[in-house]
A and B are shown apart, each in its own frame.
Chain A
Amino acid sequence: MKSKKSQIYKEASTLPSIVPPWLAAVLSAIVPGLGQALARAIQRGLVIFFSFISIVGLLIWRFTDAAPRDEGAFDIIRKAFRLEPIFVLISIVFVIFYIWIIIDAYQMAKIAGKPEKRKPIVVMVFLILVFFVIGWQIGQIDVYAFVTKFGDAFPAISRVLWPWERAITYPEEMWMGTAALETPCDDTQPPPTEPLDDKPYLIVDPTCGIPSIQVDQEDNSIEVIPGTTIHVEGYNFTPDKEVEIWWKDPAISQFRHREGGDILRVIPDEKGYFETEITWPYRLIPDSYLEGGANWELQGRQVTTIGDWEFSAELKMAIEKMIETIFIGMMATFFGIILALPFSFLAARNLMRTNAFTLGIYYLVRGVLNIIRSIEPLIWAIIAIIIVGLGPFAGILALVVHSIAALGKLYSEAIESIDPGPIEAVTATGANWLQTIMYGVIPQIIPPFVSFTIYRWDINIRMSTVIGLVGGGGIGYLLTQWIRMLDYSAAGIAVWFIAITVALLDYISAEIRERFV
Protein backbone atom coordinates (compact mmCIF):
# COMPACT_ATOMS: atom_id res chain seq x y z
CA MET A 1 0.00 0.00 0.00
CA LYS A 2 1.34 3.41 -1.02
CA SER A 3 1.12 6.21 1.48
CA LYS A 4 -0.83 9.29 0.52
CA LYS A 5 2.22 11.45 0.86
CA SER A 6 4.22 9.56 -1.73
CA GLN A 7 1.27 9.71 -4.11
CA ILE A 8 1.12 13.47 -3.92
CA TYR A 9 4.85 13.58 -4.37
CA LYS A 10 4.55 11.46 -7.45
CA GLU A 11 1.80 13.58 -8.95
CA ALA A 12 3.79 16.74 -8.48
CA SER A 13 6.84 15.21 -10.05
CA THR A 14 4.95 13.94 -13.06
CA LEU A 15 4.68 17.51 -14.37
CA PRO A 16 7.55 18.53 -16.63
CA SER A 17 9.79 21.50 -15.91
CA ILE A 18 8.59 24.92 -17.05
CA VAL A 19 12.04 25.86 -18.34
CA PRO A 20 14.70 23.78 -20.11
CA PRO A 21 17.61 22.60 -17.95
CA TRP A 22 20.17 25.10 -19.27
CA LEU A 23 17.80 28.01 -18.60
CA ALA A 24 17.10 26.71 -15.09
CA ALA A 25 20.84 26.70 -14.46
CA VAL A 26 21.27 30.24 -15.75
CA LEU A 27 18.30 31.51 -13.75
CA SER A 28 19.66 29.88 -10.59
CA ALA A 29 23.01 31.51 -11.24
CA ILE A 30 21.29 34.92 -11.22
CA VAL A 31 18.68 34.24 -8.54
CA PRO A 32 19.70 31.13 -6.58
CA GLY A 33 16.74 28.80 -6.23
CA LEU A 34 14.71 30.31 -9.09
CA GLY A 35 15.78 27.53 -11.48
CA GLN A 36 14.73 24.87 -8.99
CA ALA A 37 11.40 26.58 -8.42
CA LEU A 38 10.67 26.71 -12.14
CA ALA A 39 11.66 23.07 -12.37
CA ARG A 40 8.67 22.40 -10.08
CA ALA A 41 10.79 21.93 -6.98
CA ILE A 42 9.27 24.98 -5.35
CA GLN A 43 10.09 24.09 -1.75
CA ARG A 44 13.65 23.29 -2.65
CA GLY A 45 13.91 26.57 -4.52
CA LEU A 46 12.57 28.57 -1.57
CA VAL A 47 14.89 26.89 0.90
CA ILE A 48 17.87 27.54 -1.36
CA PHE A 49 16.85 31.15 -1.98
CA PHE A 50 16.39 32.12 1.65
CA SER A 51 19.47 30.22 2.83
CA PHE A 52 21.52 31.89 0.14
CA ILE A 53 20.28 35.34 1.13
CA SER A 54 21.01 34.77 4.81
CA ILE A 55 24.43 33.28 4.07
CA VAL A 56 25.36 36.30 1.95
CA GLY A 57 24.15 38.59 4.73
CA LEU A 58 26.21 36.73 7.31
CA LEU A 59 29.28 36.80 5.06
CA ILE A 60 29.04 40.56 4.49
CA TRP A 61 28.73 41.10 8.23
CA ARG A 62 31.67 38.86 9.14
CA PHE A 63 33.97 40.16 6.43
CA THR A 64 33.39 43.84 7.20
CA ASP A 65 33.67 43.01 10.88
CA ALA A 66 37.04 41.35 10.31
CA ALA A 67 38.39 44.26 8.26
CA PRO A 68 36.59 47.31 9.58
CA ARG A 69 39.05 49.91 8.31
CA ASP A 70 39.10 48.78 4.69
CA GLU A 71 36.85 49.88 1.90
CA GLY A 72 35.91 48.14 -1.29
CA ALA A 73 34.96 44.49 -1.48
CA PHE A 74 38.33 43.41 -2.83
CA ASP A 75 40.36 45.07 -0.07
CA ILE A 76 38.08 43.81 2.62
CA ILE A 77 38.25 40.24 1.36
CA ARG A 78 42.02 40.35 0.97
CA LYS A 79 42.49 41.75 4.47
CA ALA A 80 40.08 39.24 5.99
CA PHE A 81 41.90 36.34 4.28
CA ARG A 82 45.19 37.55 5.69
CA LEU A 83 43.94 38.16 9.22
CA GLU A 84 41.83 35.03 9.60
CA PRO A 85 42.63 32.20 7.19
CA ILE A 86 39.31 30.53 8.05
CA PHE A 87 37.71 33.05 5.69
CA VAL A 88 39.44 31.26 2.82
CA LEU A 89 37.72 28.03 3.82
CA ILE A 90 34.40 29.81 4.25
CA SER A 91 34.72 31.31 0.79
CA ILE A 92 35.62 27.98 -0.79
CA VAL A 93 32.62 26.28 0.81
CA PHE A 94 30.41 29.18 -0.25
CA VAL A 95 31.59 29.04 -3.86
CA ILE A 96 31.07 25.27 -3.98
CA PHE A 97 27.59 25.82 -2.60
CA TYR A 98 26.86 28.40 -5.29
CA ILE A 99 28.12 26.14 -8.07
CA TRP A 100 26.15 23.27 -6.65
CA ILE A 101 22.98 25.38 -6.72
CA ILE A 102 23.47 25.95 -10.47
CA ILE A 103 24.15 22.29 -11.17
CA ASP A 104 21.22 21.30 -8.99
CA ALA A 105 18.87 23.59 -10.93
CA TYR A 106 20.01 21.94 -14.16
CA GLN A 107 19.42 18.45 -12.76
CA MET A 108 16.08 19.36 -11.22
CA ALA A 109 14.81 20.62 -14.53
CA LYS A 110 16.11 17.47 -16.20
CA ILE A 111 14.51 14.96 -13.86
CA ALA A 112 11.24 16.92 -13.50
CA GLY A 113 8.42 14.75 -14.78
CA LYS A 114 10.56 11.60 -14.57
CA PRO A 115 10.27 9.08 -11.74
CA GLU A 116 13.84 9.74 -10.67
CA LYS A 117 14.43 10.58 -7.05
CA ARG A 118 15.09 14.03 -5.70
CA LYS A 119 17.42 14.06 -2.75
CA PRO A 120 16.59 16.70 -0.16
CA ILE A 121 19.41 15.31 1.97
CA VAL A 122 22.06 16.98 -0.22
CA VAL A 123 20.54 20.41 0.35
CA MET A 124 20.57 19.81 4.08
CA VAL A 125 24.17 18.63 4.12
CA PHE A 126 25.28 21.70 2.17
CA LEU A 127 23.39 24.10 4.39
CA ILE A 128 24.72 22.51 7.56
CA LEU A 129 28.24 22.66 6.16
CA VAL A 130 28.03 26.34 5.24
CA PHE A 131 26.46 27.39 8.50
CA PHE A 132 28.92 25.27 10.44
CA VAL A 133 31.92 26.99 8.90
CA ILE A 134 30.41 30.44 9.44
CA GLY A 135 29.52 29.49 13.00
CA TRP A 136 33.09 28.40 13.59
CA GLN A 137 34.27 31.88 12.58
CA ILE A 138 31.58 33.74 14.55
CA GLY A 139 32.29 31.66 17.64
CA GLN A 140 36.00 32.47 17.26
CA ILE A 141 36.71 28.83 17.92
CA ASP A 142 40.42 28.37 18.29
CA VAL A 143 41.25 24.76 19.02
CA TYR A 144 44.93 25.45 18.49
CA ALA A 145 45.00 28.08 21.23
CA PHE A 146 42.94 25.88 23.49
CA VAL A 147 45.31 22.96 23.14
CA THR A 148 48.61 24.84 23.11
CA LYS A 149 47.75 27.27 25.87
CA PHE A 150 46.04 24.73 28.04
CA GLY A 151 49.21 24.32 30.03
CA ASP A 152 49.23 28.02 30.94
CA ALA A 153 46.26 27.43 33.14
CA PHE A 154 48.01 24.78 35.22
CA PRO A 155 49.66 27.10 37.75
CA ALA A 156 46.34 28.81 38.42
CA ILE A 157 44.38 25.58 38.40
CA SER A 158 46.80 23.80 40.66
CA ARG A 159 46.60 26.65 43.12
CA VAL A 160 42.82 26.51 43.04
CA LEU A 161 42.87 22.73 43.49
CA TRP A 162 45.30 22.79 46.39
CA PRO A 163 45.20 26.22 47.99
CA TRP A 164 45.94 25.14 51.54
CA GLU A 165 49.46 26.56 51.78
CA ARG A 166 47.64 29.84 51.74
CA ALA A 167 45.47 28.79 54.67
CA ILE A 168 48.27 29.29 57.16
CA THR A 169 50.86 32.01 57.63
CA TYR A 170 53.89 32.56 59.82
CA PRO A 171 54.21 35.85 61.65
CA GLU A 172 57.03 37.86 60.06
CA GLU A 173 59.60 40.23 61.36
CA MET A 174 61.68 42.64 59.38
CA TRP A 175 65.42 42.61 59.97
CA MET A 176 67.00 45.81 58.63
CA GLY A 177 70.56 47.21 58.39
CA THR A 178 71.17 50.75 57.17
CA ALA A 179 73.91 53.10 56.02
CA ALA A 180 73.75 56.89 55.58
CA LEU A 181 74.80 58.68 52.38
CA GLU A 182 74.86 62.27 51.30
CA THR A 183 74.78 64.20 48.06
CA PRO A 184 76.63 66.12 46.83
CA CYS A 185 80.04 65.43 48.35
CA ASP A 186 81.21 68.23 50.65
CA ASP A 187 83.39 68.42 53.74
CA THR A 188 80.69 67.07 56.08
CA GLN A 189 80.09 63.73 54.49
CA PRO A 190 78.59 61.05 56.79
CA PRO A 191 81.07 58.86 58.66
CA PRO A 192 81.14 55.11 57.94
CA THR A 193 78.51 53.12 59.81
CA GLU A 194 79.43 52.04 63.32
CA PRO A 195 79.63 48.22 63.44
CA LEU A 196 76.96 46.63 65.60
CA ASP A 197 77.21 43.39 67.56
CA ASP A 198 73.88 41.69 67.17
CA LYS A 199 72.07 43.70 64.54
CA PRO A 200 72.61 43.84 60.79
CA TYR A 201 74.31 46.91 59.32
CA LEU A 202 75.63 48.13 55.98
CA ILE A 203 78.93 49.71 55.18
CA VAL A 204 79.06 51.83 52.01
CA ASP A 205 81.99 53.21 50.18
CA PRO A 206 81.95 56.06 49.32
CA THR A 207 79.42 57.63 51.69
CA CYS A 208 78.76 60.49 49.32
CA GLY A 209 78.25 60.94 45.62
CA ILE A 210 75.77 61.95 42.96
CA PRO A 211 72.60 60.15 41.83
CA SER A 212 71.96 59.18 38.20
CA ILE A 213 70.63 61.97 36.06
CA GLN A 214 68.11 61.84 33.23
CA VAL A 215 68.64 64.20 30.32
CA ASP A 216 65.93 64.85 27.75
CA GLN A 217 67.32 64.63 24.23
CA GLU A 218 66.11 66.64 21.25
CA ASP A 219 64.44 63.61 19.69
CA ASN A 220 62.33 63.18 22.86
CA SER A 221 64.33 60.18 24.07
CA ILE A 222 65.92 60.18 27.49
CA GLU A 223 69.58 59.64 28.23
CA VAL A 224 70.61 58.44 31.66
CA ILE A 225 73.93 59.53 33.06
CA PRO A 226 74.82 56.92 35.71
CA GLY A 227 75.47 58.14 39.24
CA THR A 228 78.25 57.19 41.62
CA THR A 229 78.97 53.49 41.94
CA ILE A 230 78.80 52.42 45.57
CA HIS A 231 80.37 49.38 47.11
CA VAL A 232 78.02 47.87 49.68
CA GLU A 233 78.93 45.41 52.42
CA GLY A 234 76.35 43.80 54.70
CA TYR A 235 77.04 42.29 58.11
CA ASN A 236 75.06 40.25 60.65
CA PHE A 237 72.25 39.29 58.29
CA THR A 238 70.48 35.94 58.52
CA PRO A 239 72.55 33.56 56.39
CA ASP A 240 71.25 32.25 53.05
CA LYS A 241 68.16 34.40 53.08
CA GLU A 242 67.49 36.98 50.45
CA VAL A 243 68.20 40.59 51.36
CA GLU A 244 66.24 43.32 49.61
CA ILE A 245 68.08 46.55 48.93
CA TRP A 246 65.95 49.64 49.49
CA TRP A 247 66.53 53.37 49.35
CA LYS A 248 65.10 56.16 51.45
CA ASP A 249 65.43 59.37 49.48
CA PRO A 250 65.69 62.89 50.95
CA ALA A 251 61.91 63.27 50.49
CA ILE A 252 61.64 60.22 52.82
CA SER A 253 59.91 58.07 50.23
CA GLN A 254 61.19 54.51 50.13
CA PHE A 255 61.72 52.41 47.05
CA ARG A 256 63.35 49.21 46.06
CA HIS A 257 66.70 49.33 44.33
CA ARG A 258 66.85 48.24 40.71
CA GLU A 259 70.05 47.53 38.87
CA GLY A 260 69.68 47.77 35.08
CA GLY A 261 65.90 47.60 35.40
CA ASP A 262 65.82 44.40 37.50
CA ILE A 263 65.30 44.00 41.18
CA LEU A 264 68.66 43.33 42.84
CA ARG A 265 68.87 40.07 44.75
CA VAL A 266 71.62 39.44 47.23
CA ILE A 267 72.03 36.39 49.42
CA PRO A 268 74.33 36.60 52.46
CA ASP A 269 76.84 33.82 53.09
CA GLU A 270 76.88 31.53 56.12
CA LYS A 271 78.34 34.29 58.28
CA GLY A 272 75.56 36.67 57.30
CA TYR A 273 77.94 38.73 55.12
CA PHE A 274 77.49 39.97 51.57
CA GLU A 275 78.98 42.54 49.26
CA THR A 276 77.72 44.11 46.04
CA GLU A 277 78.09 47.14 43.82
CA ILE A 278 75.21 49.42 43.08
CA THR A 279 74.69 52.54 41.01
CA TRP A 280 73.15 55.52 42.76
CA PRO A 281 69.70 55.65 41.14
CA TYR A 282 67.81 58.52 39.57
CA ARG A 283 65.09 60.10 41.65
CA LEU A 284 62.92 63.09 40.88
CA ILE A 285 63.07 65.14 44.08
CA PRO A 286 61.62 68.61 44.69
CA ASP A 287 64.35 71.23 45.06
CA SER A 288 63.27 72.22 48.56
CA TYR A 289 64.56 68.89 49.87
CA LEU A 290 68.01 69.38 48.39
CA GLU A 291 69.15 72.61 50.08
CA GLY A 292 72.29 72.32 52.18
CA GLY A 293 73.05 68.74 51.13
CA ALA A 294 70.53 65.95 50.90
CA ASN A 295 70.58 62.87 53.12
CA TRP A 296 69.91 59.42 51.64
CA GLU A 297 69.72 56.13 53.38
CA LEU A 298 70.50 52.70 52.00
CA GLN A 299 68.66 49.77 53.62
CA GLY A 300 69.22 46.03 53.58
CA ARG A 301 65.93 44.38 54.47
CA GLN A 302 65.37 40.80 55.41
CA VAL A 303 61.98 39.34 56.19
CA THR A 304 62.14 36.38 58.54
CA THR A 305 59.36 34.30 59.99
CA ILE A 306 59.22 34.04 63.73
CA GLY A 307 57.23 31.71 65.94
CA ASP A 308 54.54 29.18 65.03
CA TRP A 309 52.13 29.12 62.11
CA GLU A 310 48.74 30.68 62.38
CA PHE A 311 45.61 30.71 60.20
CA SER A 312 45.84 33.20 57.39
CA ALA A 313 43.61 36.22 57.07
CA GLU A 314 42.26 34.75 53.82
CA LEU A 315 41.17 31.55 55.53
CA LYS A 316 39.44 33.47 58.28
CA MET A 317 37.75 35.71 55.76
CA ALA A 318 36.61 32.71 53.69
CA ILE A 319 35.14 31.06 56.78
CA GLU A 320 33.37 34.24 57.82
CA LYS A 321 31.94 34.78 54.36
CA MET A 322 30.94 31.14 54.04
CA ILE A 323 28.98 31.45 57.27
CA GLU A 324 27.50 34.67 55.95
CA THR A 325 26.49 32.82 52.79
CA ILE A 326 24.83 30.01 54.71
CA PHE A 327 22.90 32.55 56.71
CA ILE A 328 21.91 34.49 53.61
CA GLY A 329 20.48 31.26 52.25
CA MET A 330 18.84 30.47 55.56
CA MET A 331 17.24 33.88 56.05
CA ALA A 332 16.07 33.90 52.45
CA THR A 333 14.53 30.47 52.89
CA PHE A 334 12.95 31.50 56.18
CA PHE A 335 11.28 34.61 54.78
CA GLY A 336 10.54 32.71 51.60
CA ILE A 337 8.56 30.08 53.53
CA ILE A 338 6.63 32.60 55.59
CA LEU A 339 5.66 34.68 52.58
CA ALA A 340 5.09 31.72 50.28
CA LEU A 341 2.57 30.08 52.61
CA PRO A 342 -0.29 32.56 52.13
CA PHE A 343 0.34 32.66 48.40
CA SER A 344 0.37 28.90 48.18
CA PHE A 345 -3.16 28.71 49.55
CA LEU A 346 -4.30 31.33 47.04
CA ALA A 347 -2.62 29.38 44.25
CA ALA A 348 -4.20 26.04 45.15
CA ARG A 349 -6.92 25.21 42.69
CA ASN A 350 -8.85 22.86 44.95
CA LEU A 351 -9.29 25.62 47.52
CA MET A 352 -9.94 28.44 45.07
CA ARG A 353 -12.37 26.95 42.58
CA THR A 354 -15.43 27.55 44.75
CA ASN A 355 -16.52 30.58 42.73
CA ALA A 356 -15.52 32.81 39.85
CA PHE A 357 -13.99 35.48 42.09
CA THR A 358 -11.66 33.15 43.94
CA LEU A 359 -10.83 31.40 40.70
CA GLY A 360 -9.82 34.78 39.30
CA ILE A 361 -7.49 35.32 42.27
CA TYR A 362 -6.11 31.84 41.67
CA TYR A 363 -5.20 32.64 38.07
CA LEU A 364 -3.76 36.02 39.04
CA VAL A 365 -1.56 34.63 41.83
CA ARG A 366 -0.48 31.70 39.68
CA GLY A 367 0.46 34.03 36.84
CA VAL A 368 2.43 36.42 39.02
CA LEU A 369 4.27 33.56 40.70
CA ASN A 370 5.16 32.11 37.32
CA ILE A 371 6.50 35.41 36.05
CA ILE A 372 8.59 36.02 39.18
CA ARG A 373 9.90 32.49 39.08
CA SER A 374 10.98 32.76 35.48
CA ILE A 375 13.28 35.69 36.27
CA GLU A 376 16.69 34.57 37.45
CA PRO A 377 17.72 35.36 41.05
CA LEU A 378 20.78 37.05 39.57
CA ILE A 379 18.56 39.66 37.97
CA TRP A 380 16.59 40.10 41.19
CA ALA A 381 19.93 40.63 42.93
CA ILE A 382 20.86 43.40 40.53
CA ILE A 383 17.51 45.07 41.17
CA ALA A 384 17.88 44.62 44.93
CA ILE A 385 21.37 46.13 44.84
CA ILE A 386 19.96 49.22 43.18
CA ILE A 387 17.49 49.53 46.06
CA VAL A 388 19.48 48.58 49.14
CA GLY A 389 23.07 48.70 47.90
CA LEU A 390 25.75 46.03 47.84
CA GLY A 391 25.83 43.48 50.61
CA PRO A 392 24.11 40.48 52.11
CA PHE A 393 20.72 42.16 52.42
CA ALA A 394 20.49 42.57 48.66
CA GLY A 395 21.30 38.88 48.29
CA ILE A 396 18.64 37.94 50.82
CA LEU A 397 16.03 40.09 49.06
CA ALA A 398 16.79 38.57 45.69
CA LEU A 399 16.56 35.03 47.02
CA VAL A 400 13.42 35.77 49.02
CA VAL A 401 11.61 37.00 45.94
CA HIS A 402 12.60 33.97 43.94
CA SER A 403 11.89 31.59 46.83
CA ILE A 404 8.39 32.96 47.32
CA ALA A 405 7.56 32.22 43.73
CA ALA A 406 9.22 28.82 43.63
CA LEU A 407 7.96 27.62 47.01
CA GLY A 408 4.53 29.15 46.43
CA LYS A 409 4.11 27.01 43.38
CA LEU A 410 5.46 23.84 44.97
CA TYR A 411 3.40 24.32 48.15
CA SER A 412 0.25 25.01 46.20
CA GLU A 413 0.79 21.83 44.23
CA ALA A 414 1.19 19.95 47.51
CA ILE A 415 -2.07 21.43 48.74
CA GLU A 416 -3.77 20.53 45.48
CA SER A 417 -2.75 16.93 45.85
CA ILE A 418 -4.27 16.58 49.32
CA ASP A 419 -6.59 13.61 49.75
CA PRO A 420 -10.00 14.94 50.88
CA GLY A 421 -10.89 11.57 52.43
CA PRO A 422 -9.04 11.99 55.74
CA ILE A 423 -10.39 15.53 56.12
CA GLU A 424 -13.89 14.20 55.67
CA ALA A 425 -13.22 11.46 58.22
CA VAL A 426 -11.84 13.86 60.83
CA THR A 427 -14.79 16.20 60.30
CA ALA A 428 -17.15 13.28 60.81
CA THR A 429 -15.76 12.63 64.30
CA GLY A 430 -17.07 16.00 65.45
CA ALA A 431 -13.69 17.70 65.41
CA ASN A 432 -13.72 21.48 65.03
CA TRP A 433 -12.09 23.42 62.21
CA LEU A 434 -8.70 23.84 63.87
CA GLN A 435 -8.58 20.20 64.83
CA THR A 436 -9.55 19.17 61.35
CA ILE A 437 -6.70 21.24 59.89
CA MET A 438 -4.26 19.89 62.46
CA TYR A 439 -5.21 16.24 62.07
CA GLY A 440 -6.54 16.06 58.53
CA VAL A 441 -4.59 18.63 56.54
CA ILE A 442 -1.22 19.25 58.21
CA PRO A 443 -0.04 15.64 58.31
CA GLN A 444 -0.68 15.46 54.61
CA ILE A 445 1.18 18.60 53.65
CA ILE A 446 4.08 18.48 56.10
CA PRO A 447 6.17 15.90 54.26
CA PRO A 448 6.03 17.63 50.89
CA PHE A 449 6.48 21.02 52.53
CA VAL A 450 9.55 19.86 54.45
CA SER A 451 10.91 18.26 51.35
CA PHE A 452 10.39 21.33 49.18
CA THR A 453 11.71 23.64 51.86
CA ILE A 454 14.96 21.73 52.27
CA TYR A 455 15.30 21.54 48.54
CA ARG A 456 14.86 25.30 48.42
CA TRP A 457 17.35 25.90 51.22
CA ASP A 458 19.83 23.83 49.31
CA ILE A 459 19.22 25.87 46.15
CA ASN A 460 19.32 29.17 48.06
CA ILE A 461 22.72 28.49 49.54
CA ARG A 462 24.08 27.49 46.18
CA MET A 463 22.44 30.53 44.60
CA SER A 464 23.77 32.87 47.28
CA THR A 465 27.30 32.05 46.19
CA VAL A 466 26.34 33.04 42.66
CA ILE A 467 24.52 36.14 43.82
CA GLY A 468 27.69 37.19 45.60
CA LEU A 469 29.29 37.48 42.18
CA VAL A 470 27.17 40.52 41.40
CA GLY A 471 27.62 42.01 44.86
CA GLY A 472 24.95 40.33 46.92
CA GLY A 473 27.33 39.56 49.78
CA GLY A 474 28.66 36.24 50.97
CA ILE A 475 31.52 34.14 49.71
CA GLY A 476 30.71 34.72 46.06
CA TYR A 477 31.63 38.37 46.45
CA LEU A 478 34.95 37.41 48.01
CA LEU A 479 35.58 34.86 45.29
CA THR A 480 35.14 37.39 42.48
CA GLN A 481 37.40 39.85 44.26
CA TRP A 482 40.14 37.29 44.65
CA ILE A 483 39.84 36.14 41.07
CA ARG A 484 40.12 39.72 39.89
CA MET A 485 43.23 40.17 42.04
CA LEU A 486 44.60 36.97 40.43
CA ASP A 487 44.97 35.52 43.91
CA TYR A 488 44.15 31.98 42.82
CA SER A 489 45.18 30.34 46.08
CA ALA A 490 42.76 32.47 48.05
CA ALA A 491 40.10 31.89 45.38
CA GLY A 492 40.85 28.20 45.72
CA ILE A 493 40.09 28.36 49.43
CA ALA A 494 36.73 29.96 48.64
CA VAL A 495 36.00 27.35 45.97
CA TRP A 496 36.84 24.57 48.40
CA PHE A 497 34.57 25.98 51.06
CA ILE A 498 31.72 26.31 48.60
CA ALA A 499 32.22 22.75 47.41
CA ILE A 500 32.41 21.36 50.94
CA THR A 501 29.33 23.28 52.04
CA VAL A 502 27.27 22.25 49.05
CA ALA A 503 28.27 18.61 49.49
CA LEU A 504 27.47 18.68 53.20
CA LEU A 505 24.17 20.33 52.49
CA ASP A 506 23.29 17.74 49.90
CA TYR A 507 23.95 15.08 52.45
CA ILE A 508 22.02 16.79 55.24
CA SER A 509 19.02 17.53 53.08
CA ALA A 510 18.92 13.97 51.82
CA GLU A 511 19.00 12.74 55.40
CA ILE A 512 16.25 15.07 56.59
CA ARG A 513 14.12 14.24 53.61
CA GLU A 514 14.47 10.56 54.36
CA ARG A 515 13.36 11.07 57.95
CA PHE A 516 10.35 13.23 57.20
CA VAL A 517 8.99 12.04 53.94
Chain B
Amino acid sequence: MDYSEKVMDHFANPRNIGEISDADGVGTVGNPTCGDMTTVYIRVTDGRIADIKFKTFGCAAAIATASMTTELALGMTLDDALAMSRNDVADALDGLPAVKMHCSNLAADALHAAIEEYLAK
Protein backbone atom coordinates (compact mmCIF):
# COMPACT_ATOMS: atom_id res chain seq x y z
CA MET B 1 0.00 0.00 0.00
CA ASP B 2 1.37 3.37 -1.00
CA TYR B 3 0.76 5.69 1.92
CA SER B 4 2.21 9.19 2.09
CA GLU B 5 4.76 10.03 4.76
CA LYS B 6 2.15 12.07 6.62
CA VAL B 7 -0.24 9.13 6.68
CA MET B 8 2.51 6.88 8.01
CA ASP B 9 3.42 9.47 10.65
CA HIS B 10 -0.16 9.84 11.90
CA PHE B 11 -0.62 6.06 11.77
CA ALA B 12 2.55 5.34 13.74
CA ASN B 13 2.08 8.23 16.20
CA PRO B 14 -1.61 9.04 16.29
CA ARG B 15 -2.53 12.31 18.07
CA ASN B 16 -5.41 12.66 20.51
CA ILE B 17 -6.13 8.98 21.15
CA GLY B 18 -8.49 8.14 23.96
CA GLU B 19 -11.83 9.07 25.47
CA ILE B 20 -13.23 12.14 27.25
CA SER B 21 -15.17 10.82 30.22
CA ASP B 22 -17.63 13.75 30.54
CA ALA B 23 -17.64 14.72 26.87
CA ASP B 24 -20.09 17.34 25.55
CA GLY B 25 -20.61 15.26 22.43
CA VAL B 26 -19.81 11.72 21.30
CA GLY B 27 -20.15 10.40 17.77
CA THR B 28 -19.65 6.81 16.63
CA VAL B 29 -19.69 5.83 12.98
CA GLY B 30 -19.23 2.42 11.39
CA ASN B 31 -18.04 2.00 7.87
CA PRO B 32 -20.38 -0.29 5.97
CA THR B 33 -17.83 -0.93 3.22
CA CYS B 34 -15.39 -2.85 5.34
CA GLY B 35 -16.89 -2.94 8.83
CA ASP B 36 -14.60 -0.56 10.70
CA MET B 37 -15.48 1.93 13.41
CA THR B 38 -14.45 5.31 14.79
CA THR B 39 -15.65 7.16 17.89
CA VAL B 40 -14.95 10.89 18.40
CA TYR B 41 -15.34 12.68 21.76
CA ILE B 42 -15.48 16.49 21.99
CA ARG B 43 -15.57 19.13 24.70
CA VAL B 44 -16.99 22.50 23.64
CA THR B 45 -16.13 25.87 25.14
CA ASP B 46 -17.44 29.19 23.77
CA GLY B 47 -18.59 27.58 20.51
CA ARG B 48 -15.18 26.08 19.84
CA ILE B 49 -13.80 22.56 20.11
CA ALA B 50 -11.72 22.83 23.27
CA ASP B 51 -10.74 19.17 23.49
CA ILE B 52 -11.09 16.21 21.17
CA LYS B 53 -10.19 12.51 21.39
CA PHE B 54 -10.82 9.48 19.22
CA LYS B 55 -10.79 5.70 19.06
CA THR B 56 -10.57 3.73 15.83
CA PHE B 57 -10.85 0.11 14.80
CA GLY B 58 -9.60 0.12 11.24
CA CYS B 59 -6.78 0.26 8.75
CA ALA B 60 -3.80 2.57 8.71
CA ALA B 61 -5.74 5.12 6.63
CA ALA B 62 -8.64 5.08 9.08
CA ILE B 63 -6.30 5.67 12.05
CA ALA B 64 -4.32 8.39 10.26
CA THR B 65 -7.41 10.26 9.06
CA ALA B 66 -8.93 10.15 12.55
CA SER B 67 -5.73 11.49 14.03
CA MET B 68 -5.52 14.28 11.42
CA THR B 69 -9.20 15.13 11.81
CA THR B 70 -8.79 15.67 15.55
CA GLU B 71 -5.69 17.76 14.99
CA LEU B 72 -7.45 19.98 12.44
CA ALA B 73 -10.64 20.25 14.49
CA LEU B 74 -9.00 21.23 17.78
CA GLY B 75 -9.77 24.92 18.40
CA MET B 76 -12.16 25.22 15.44
CA THR B 77 -15.59 26.82 15.69
CA LEU B 78 -18.41 24.29 15.48
CA ASP B 79 -19.47 25.75 12.12
CA ASP B 80 -16.01 25.33 10.65
CA ALA B 81 -15.75 21.81 12.07
CA LEU B 82 -19.12 20.92 10.57
CA ALA B 83 -17.92 22.22 7.20
CA MET B 84 -14.76 20.11 7.29
CA SER B 85 -14.99 17.37 4.67
CA ARG B 86 -13.16 14.12 4.14
CA ASN B 87 -11.32 15.75 1.25
CA ASP B 88 -9.91 18.41 3.59
CA VAL B 89 -8.54 15.64 5.79
CA ALA B 90 -7.16 13.64 2.85
CA ASP B 91 -5.49 16.78 1.47
CA ALA B 92 -3.92 17.55 4.83
CA LEU B 93 -2.42 14.05 4.72
CA ASP B 94 -1.00 14.63 1.21
CA GLY B 95 -3.61 12.31 -0.26
CA LEU B 96 -4.81 8.76 0.25
CA PRO B 97 -4.72 5.77 -2.11
CA ALA B 98 -7.98 5.69 -4.11
CA VAL B 99 -9.13 2.43 -2.52
CA LYS B 100 -8.73 4.04 0.93
CA MET B 101 -10.74 7.22 0.31
CA HIS B 102 -13.81 5.66 1.92
CA CYS B 103 -11.90 5.30 5.22
CA SER B 104 -11.60 9.05 5.56
CA ASN B 105 -15.39 9.28 5.90
CA LEU B 106 -15.19 7.59 9.26
CA ALA B 107 -13.51 10.35 11.22
CA ALA B 108 -15.23 13.32 9.58
CA ASP B 109 -18.63 11.66 10.00
CA ALA B 110 -17.90 10.76 13.63
CA LEU B 111 -16.83 14.35 14.34
CA HIS B 112 -20.02 15.72 12.75
CA ALA B 113 -22.09 13.22 14.74
CA ALA B 114 -20.40 14.35 17.97
CA ILE B 115 -21.13 18.01 17.18
CA GLU B 116 -24.73 17.21 16.30
CA GLU B 117 -25.15 15.35 19.57
CA TYR B 118 -23.83 18.39 21.42
CA LEU B 119 -26.12 20.78 19.52
CA ALA B 120 -29.15 18.59 20.15
CA LYS B 121 -28.62 18.75 23.92
Partners in one complex: no
Which B residues are within 8 Å of any A CB, using their own CB?
A: none
Residues of A at under 8 Å CB distance from B? Answer: none
